[in-house]
Amino acid sequence: MRFVPILAATALIQQVPAMSIPSNATSILPEQLFLDLHIQDVTDKTTGISVVEPWATKYTESIREKRYGDAIWARYHIGGDVEGIAGSSMNMTVLDMIAEDAREYRLNDPTLYSEALSLYAQTSSEDSHAADVLALVRRIGEEDVTQLEKRKTYGIYCSTNWIAYERDCNSLVNIMSQSKRMVGNVRDLAGFGSCHLRLGPYKNSYTDLTWWTVHAVARLILQECVYVPPCCRDRTISGYSPKNGGHRKVCLSRKNTGCS
């Protein structure tokens, strides 16, 4: 892990074409954690979000019908890559993935987690995943976890899990926006091939980041977190900058869920 002043990192950034910011960046989500994709972004084919059917339709219909367990289940399939992760060498099921993200959310965002549980308590009686998905999220909400100590710098932590191809992450960072505008109520910023750039939940403008800052942090992750698996020759990337009292968490990896 390395701590890096963000202003020093900006000297390393080159000017690149800007990526458009979703026009509905300030629209309201059912909750900030598991249901983090706006319905409009899922249904609007021009937003650049990669979704597959039937899960995109299931996601939007489940939210509208207040079947929140079904909506979460669809969210974890909506990118079309979950089958390649679950049952792979990582030996994870979809419920394992949900549990991993749930524990991270519970630890780092207890207030938002509590709000999500309150919403899920109102799920429809027609919800086919109330007994597994929502029960799992509720059970993790009852676990005794300790709040992580807040950090004061843009620390870069690297991982050998959820690794994405370096070339995909480099392409993603090269085409993303460097606007000085705040990101706002958006978490899934960009995806390119195997690589995804995500932010932690949006709480208020005080902890928000500009696209320019997110770009700088992503560049640092690219520089610090190169990993070549023993089995292969491909260079890969997986890393994050943890949240603190002044900014949201920034994640660059293969994962298209989580980041809290």
181 burial (CB, 10 Å; 0-12 / 13-18 / 19+) is: exposed
Q: Which of 116, 141, 166 is the last residue of a domain?
A: 141
pLDDT, residue 232, reads 87
Provide, rounded to the nearest whole percent, the portion of the chain with pLDDT above 90. 50
128-136 mean pLDDT: 95
Longest dimension (CA), the chain: 55
- Between 214 and 28, the more confident residue is 214
Q: Which structural domain, as residue segments, surrounds residue 83?
A: 39-141
Q: Kindly state whether residue 31 falls inside one of the protein's structural domains.
A: no
Whether the upstream peptide bond of residue 22 has omega within 30° of 0, thus cis, is: no
Buried b / exposed e across 185-197, counting CB within 10 Å, b at 16+?
Answer: bbbbbbbbebbbb
Domain boundary among 84, 119, 141: 141
Q: How far is CA 10 from CA 7, 43, 117, 173, 209, in A?
A: 5, 35, 39, 13, 14
pLDDT digit string (tens) for 43-81?
887 666 788 999 999 999 999 999 999 999 999 999 887
Residue 57 · residue 71 · CB < 8 Å: no
Q: Is residue 179 part of a domain?
A: yes
Beta sheet of 188-192, edge-to-edge order? 2-4, 154-158, 239-241, 250-253, 195-199, 188-192
> Of 214, 218, 236, nearest to 227 (Cα)?
236
In-domain check, residue 196: yes
Q: Which of 87, 111, 95, 16 is nearest to 257 (CA)?
A: 95
Whole-number mean pLDDT of the chain? 81
Residue 246 is predicted with a pLDDT of: 66
Please give the average per-residue pLDDT across 183-187, as a whole number: 90
Question: In this predicted model, which residue has the larger pLDDT, 72 or 8?
Answer: 72
Kindly state whether residues 192 and 129 are assigned to the same domain: no
Give the number of other CB atoms < 10 A from CB of residue 31: 18
- 73, 122: one domain: yes
Q: Do residue 110 and residue 189 come from a single domain?
A: no
Shortest CA distance to 29 belongs to which of 183, 258, 250, 186? 186
pLDDT band at 24 (very low <50, low <70, confident <90, very high): very low
| Structure-model confidence comparison of residues 16 and 188, the more confident one | 188
Q: Is residue 131 part of a domain?
A: yes
Contacts of 127 (CB under 8 A, 6+ apart): 62, 66, 67, 68, 69, 70, 134
Q: Are residues 157 and 232 in the same domain?
A: yes
Distances (CA, A) of 89 to 77, 84, 209: 18, 10, 35
Number of domains in the chain: 2
- Inform me whether the pLDDT recorded for 85 exceeds 70: no
Q: Kindly state whether residues 126 and 209 are assigned to the same domain.
A: no
Structure tokens at 174: 């090269």
Q: Residue 150: pLDDT above 50?
A: no
Helices vs strands, H then E, count in the chain: 10, 9
Both tokens assigned to 122: 């109102």
For 191-219, write each residue's pLDDT tens digit: 999 999 999 998 876 678 889 889 989 99
What's the pLDDT band for 91 if we cut at 50, 70, 90? very low
Domain presence at residue 34: no
**Whether 15 and 59 share a structural domain:** no
258: in domain: no
Residue 49 lies in a domain: yes
Co-location of 69 and 116 in the same domain: yes
